[in-house]
Structure 1
Amino acid sequence: MPEEIEKPAVSRRDRREAHRLRLTYVLLLLTVSSGMVDAISYLALEHVFTANMTGNVVVLGFATAGADGFSVTHTLTSIVLFLVGAVGGGRLAGRLARHARGTWARIALAIEAALLLASAVVAFTVPPGNPAFPFVLLAVTALAMGLRNATVRKLGVPGISTTTVVTTTLTALVSESPLGGGTGDHGALRAAAVVALFCGALLGAWLVLNHGLGVPLLVVAVLAALLAALSSGRD
């Protein structure tokens, strides 16, 4: 009887590297989703961002100055609910500090998916002429994005510190490249994050312009749910 050939055991280090790589893919797809969410909110919800708070601070300045097409109340709604979501994300990460990073991501993304699904239901069922319509959608999507950003920050994946803005990413991409006198570490990942945000904004804008609000919100909700499953595992 031939002897069985033992398969080499997968080391803990290999498992951790595989899980880190999986989280990296999750974060890149979340960056696509962020571009979609901001396209949805900016194009269809009073020119307000719900993922990019840097943009919102600028928009708030425009609105306060009285520029046409911008609203102080809508912008503040987004900023405040984003901060509430970020507080929730921070507290969730603290409660799960002894668990694997994938556990944080899975639970946070599951909550995000539920919030985005709720916003899609509102978009499909509530008449857009209802005065509360934009406030509800801004509040729920901003809450989801605040939760997400806090979770991404806690995950601490090298090369992707945020999934919503790329100013720092672009700066690091060029200033730390060989051209800027650096080593170019994480250059490909940073470039991928920039492309991902662009592609998300493009897709989100196309969906809003051709299918209204409900469809793109449903798409980002389903994507968050799928990513929650993908991010599971030990780290």
Structure 2
Amino acid sequence: MSKQNSQESADAPADDPEARGLRLVVVLLGLTVVSGLIDAVSYLGLGHVFTANMTGNVVVLGFAAAGAPGFTVSHTLTSLVAFVVGAVAGGRMTVRLSGGSRRTWARVTLAAEAVLLGGSAAVAFAAPDATATVYALIALTAFAMGLRNATVRKLGVADLTTTVLTMTLTGLASDSRAGGGSGHHSPRRTASVLAMLAGAVLGAWLVIHHNLGIPLLIAAVGVGVLAVVASGRE
């Protein structure tokens, strides 16, 4: 009887709809790669502005306001406003969906992000040299990142914010064995840093050697795949 009960317990997760798909930890690491891609596109290709990392963007706004060459107040403000509006939309979506399936909630939000990034890729391919394209790409990608950040914040998966690494690096160092801690979360935090770095390297290479549409298309496809396979469990 005990063997039968143990077998039933082992099989239970497979019958749980929330458990079907890729764990959220892996999904969020994939999104962290996308963040590196997006900030490479925005900073290198859209006039030294961040659309995923708003901490850096506030600093960039200060540079632009002081008249530092290569920075534009209008670009930075567009990014900040679009990100905040996206976060508001993400908050409302969270209120609407969080009472139900966590899996559905994550997938719907990621699908929306994939559509926004796909739209930005289409704009980049259709009118790469138009002045309006820069503002459209900044607005679309920043809105997508705001939407995602609102969802990731509510999901509350430890050490995986997907867009900023300051506290991740702080935790990695202060909680390490060298810092007197146990180093328990070090693998996850290290993976997050490496994921962001990998996305930034890939994004920068694509922007330098190709055009903005290709990294944006890769980001859209990547998020779309994650939207299809995400589960509701950490």
> Normalization by structure 1: what TM-score?
0.91
Q: CA deviation at 1:11?
A: 3.0
SS at match of 2:110: helix
Q: CA deviation at 1:183?
A: 2.1
Q: Aligned partners of 2:67, 2:192: CA distance in 1, in Å? A: 34
Structure 1 runs (4+) deviating above 6 angstroms are none
Q: Does 1:22 align with 2:23?
A: yes
Aligned equivalent of 2:200? 201
Q: CA deviation at 1:196?
A: 0.4
% identical aligned pairs: 59
Q: Aligned partners of 2:101, 2:32: CA distance in 1, in Å? A: 22
Aligned length: 229
Aligned equivalent of 1:177? 176
1:140-219 to 2 correspondences below 5 Å: 140-160=140-160, 162-219=161-218
Q: Aligned partners of 2:123, 2:21: CA distance in 1, in Å? A: 35
SS at match of 1:48: coil
Q: Does 1:118 align with 2:104?
A: no
Q: Aligned partners of 2:70, 2:43: CA distance in 1, in Å? A: 11
Q: CA deviation at 1:8?
A: 1.9
**Contact residue 49 and residue 79 of structure 2 kept, 8 A:** yes
Give ranges in structure 2 of 5+ residues lacking alignment: none
Q: Aligned partners of 1:60, 1:185: CA distance in 2, in Å? A: 37
Going from structure 1 to structure 2, the CA distance change for 1:193 and 1:14 (only over 3 Å counts) comes to farther
Q: CA deviation at 1:24?
A: 0.4
Q: CA deviation at 1:21?
A: 6.7
Q: Aligned partners of 1:158, 1:215: CA distance in 2, in Å? A: 31
Q: Aligned partners of 2:21, 2:118: CA distance in 1, in Å? A: 27
SS at match of 2:7: coil
Root-mean-square deviation over aligned CA pairs: 2.3
Q: CA deviation at 1:14?
A: 9.7
Give ranges in structure 1 of 5+ residues lacking alignment: none
Q: Aligned partners of 2:36, 2:67: CA distance in 1, in Å? A: 27
| Worse-superposed segment, 96-105 or 109-118 | 96-105
Amino acid at match of 1:24: V
Q: Does 1:70 align with 2:85?
A: no
Going from structure 1 to structure 2, the CA distance change for 1:7 and 1:187 (only over 3 Å counts) comes to closer
**Contact residue 21 and residue 229 of structure 2 kept, 8 A:** no
Aligned equivalent of 2:99? 98
1:41-56 to 2 correspondences below 5 Å: 41-56=42-57
Q: Aligned partners of 1:7, 1:91: CA distance in 2, in Å? A: 41
> Normalization by structure 2: what TM-score?
0.91
